[in-house]
Structure 1
Amino acid sequence: MEFECPECGSENIEVIKERGREATLKCLDCGNVWIVTLPKLLRIPLIVSKHERSFKAEAELPEDEEIKVGDIVEIENDEVRITGIELEGNRRANKAKVSEVKTLWGESLRYPKIIGVSIYLPKGITQSFKVQVDRDEEFVVGEVLEVGGYTFKVEKIKTERKMLTHGKAKADKIVRLMGHQIRARASRKLKIYRGYESVER
């Protein structure tokens, strides 16, 4: 947890004693010593999605805090972006107090982003692929890519919120790349996604 000195505002804090939920803290900049009561942590069931596979985990969260869709929760060996919140009675919410949450759903941010690719061929044929990319990778409308032996020009980028016909987007927000097959040199080759077992962990 992050602490801030109430005297000087420094975050250079040392925990010098812990008893139950009470902690004695010391500011290493101004020397101020004070006691805080740590929030009660609740263990909330968390279903972590790694594309077509899901895994059960638990998130430890302060009971009096609020959690919302889009928040990032750290669990052992992973970071998870919350995509769904379930309350009692199977009700869904976009945000809720941690104490009211029955189950959280989320996607692993350590797992590669899987996006769809639609390549338009002559005679109305569409060739589709799923590719795995780093979440920070950027894609630009107009760039030339290769996947599965097909070279195509990106004409549209479908993100979680809108369809782009110009500009760029990060892979983390992209759902699908679309464009026509062309004869040209590709700026990069995309890796076809062959299922959960094929991803190096």
Structure 2
Amino acid sequence: MEEYYVCPECGSEDVEVIKERGREVTLRCNECGYVWMITLPKLREIPVIVSKHERSFREKAVLPEDEVIKVGDVIEIENDQVKVLSIELPGGKRVRKAKVAEIQTIWGESLTYPKVFGVSIYLPGGITQSFKVVVDREEEFVVGEVIEVGGYTFKVEMIKTEKKLMRSGKAKAENIVRLMGHAIKGRARRKLKIYEGYDSISAENQ
């Protein structure tokens, strides 16, 4: 876990570690020459279950024991960033926030894996055609835009996010659960790729 230090005397970040003894670290500022000592927080290794849509992988995070983790936070693990979805305490109790010292397991979603969400297209006769699509997490979608998926063109009438159902406005793919709308005739603004499973994404990244 890489640490960054700032001189409390002059605010410089040009700081050198001159002595380490356990969690006691002596530092010197190369700008003003000030020397001081700090005590690093005690670290704890926490199991992290990382979701990449239908696949889950057991990883670990090393975090300060006194740090408070909340649902929605982003934590660093080796080679990935993970958005916290759930926090489990001993005994299986799920909470929205807790100190690292109290946590048994963190459940989260990989932020390096593309976003996968649902699309529901309403057809004549009460038929609904559903797909799962894969998009870049930073891509934005707007209520009212026209999109093509699986050969169907539809107008987005509602966007369901993790927190609400939107009938106007826009949302980032990162937060979207589902797009919904009626099939129409016309030219689509863009075409979305149907999700074909974890193995297809892994093959693309090789």
Q: Is 1:99 the counterpart of 2:81 in the alignment? A: no
**Which residues of structure 2 form unaligned runs of 5+?**
none
Equivalent-residue separation in structure 2 for 1:127 and 1:30 (angstroms):
67
Equivalent-residue separation in structure 1 for 2:148 and 2:31 (angstroms):
55
Q: Which of 2, 25, 28 does residue 26 from structure 1 map onto?
A: 28
| TM, length-normalised to structure 2 | 0.92
The 3-state SS of whatever aligns with 1:90 is coil
| Counterpart for residue 166 of structure 1 | 168
Shift of 1:78: 0.3
| Counterpart for residue 137 of structure 2 | 135
The 3-state SS of whatever aligns with 1:48 is strand
Which one-letter code corresponds to 2:160 in the other structure? K
Shift of 1:157: 0.4
Equivalent-residue separation in structure 2 for 1:14 and 1:186 (angstroms):
57
1:72-83 alignment to 2 at 5 Å? 72-83=74-85
| TM, length-normalised to structure 1 | 0.94
| Counterpart for residue 49 of structure 1 | 51
CA RMSD of aligned residues (A): 1.4
Q: Is 1:86 the counterpart of 2:88 in the alignment? A: yes
Equivalent-residue separation in structure 1 for 2:123 and 2:98 (angstroms):
47
C-alpha spacing 1:153/1:14, structure 2 compared with 1 (3 Å): farther
Q: Which of 174, 178, 181 does residue 179 from structure 1 map onto?
A: 181
C-alpha spacing 1:13/1:185, structure 2 compared with 1 (3 Å): farther
Equivalent-residue separation in structure 1 for 2:33 and 2:179 (angstroms):
56
Equivalent-residue separation in structure 1 for 2:93 and 2:143 (angstroms):
39
Moved more, 11-20 or 172-181: 11-20
Equivalent-residue separation in structure 2 for 1:44 and 1:192 (angstroms):
35
**Which residues of structure 1 form unaligned runs of 5+?**
none
Equivalent-residue separation in structure 1 for 2:30 and 2:179 (angstroms):
51
The 3-state SS of whatever aligns with 2:11 is coil
Q: How many residues end up aligned between the 2 structures?
A: 201
C-alpha spacing 1:188/1:17, structure 2 compared with 1 (3 Å): farther
Which one-letter code corresponds to 1:126 in the other structure? T
Equivalent-residue separation in structure 1 for 2:163 and 2:90 (angstroms):
29
Shift of 1:58: 0.6
